[in-house]
Amino acid sequence: MCLHQVHIYVDAVINHMCSSGAGSGYRGTCGSYFNAGIRDFPAVPYSNFDFNDRICKTPSGDIENYSDPVQVRNCRLVGLVDLTQRRDGVRSKIADYMNHLLDIGVAGFRIDASKHIWPQDINAIIGKLNNLNTRWFSQGSRPFIYQEVIDMGGEAVRNYEYFRNGRVTEFRYGAQLGNVLRKWNGEKMANLKSWGENWNLMPSEKAMVFVDNHDNQRGHGSGGASILTFWNPRLYSMAVGFMLAHPYGSTRIMSSYKWPRRIQNGTVIFSSLTTSLWLLVEFIYISLLNS
């Protein structure tokens, strides 16, 4: 008898399509045609009316000032063609995709790059989602949603703007816990008695917490040098063990395979994600799962 289920949470990339410089051809999903230059994705279909080029006000069309929340949401993230989720047709296409995944049994979604989408647009998309499939879940169960919003404090886009939609990634968790276990800035483990919201973390019932993720373990994203990864096996095990034992937030752990890296004059030079093969498995521990 199967005593436990493994729930699947899909990483939904709904902010953008491909790079604006990706050209054209039959290299889309299942060999479908696209032309990034004129914003033509007929297999969806999306046309140039479904992207934010008309409302982005920067000369380049990319985000040029992260202190401007309008730019962060209406302009291209690193050149990726930016969908306009305020259009109901775009919302419906995204919801159709997510509902297909719900119908085949997924339990919820991590919404990638949520800070680059207006929170009310995410809310409208979530409102179009079906309940979970009753073959595997109880009647009326809703998808578990957590949103990727990097907010280390003082950002133009704040994590609390997204609370009504579901859980939000708490990037400060891993950064601050890393400081404690490394004993930086005079920190020590005894200080963890007050761990949680008293450390200026978001409310526990809204937080998705993790020691590291696929970005900041490679020097991307947020957290900086304090982030603990499998390259620091003793401290990393301590951090993960503490996170799983502590009641704050919903916890996510991960297992990563080593990737190539070079050391020059004592400094680690991380390989580019575009040229290095890397594999990642993420496990989400939200609650005890019963069959």
Tell me which of 50, 148, 151, 161 is the catalytic residue.
Answer: 148
225's tokens: 């040098």
Tell me which of 40, 53, 62, 112 is the catalytic residue.
Answer: 112
Closest CA to 129 of 111, 102, 154: 102
Closest CA to 146 of 125, 116, 170, 127: 170
> Is 112 an active-site residue?
yes
Closest CA to 211 of 159, 166, 249, 165: 249
CA distance 283 to 218: 18
**Amino acid identity, residue 114?**
S
User: 270 has which bridge partners?
Assistant: 261
> Is 148 an active-site residue?
yes
* Cβ contacts of 6 within 8 Å, gap of 6 or more: 289
Exposure b/e, 171-192, CB count within 10 A at least 16 = b: bbbbbbbbbbbeeeeebeeeeb
Active site residues: 112, 148
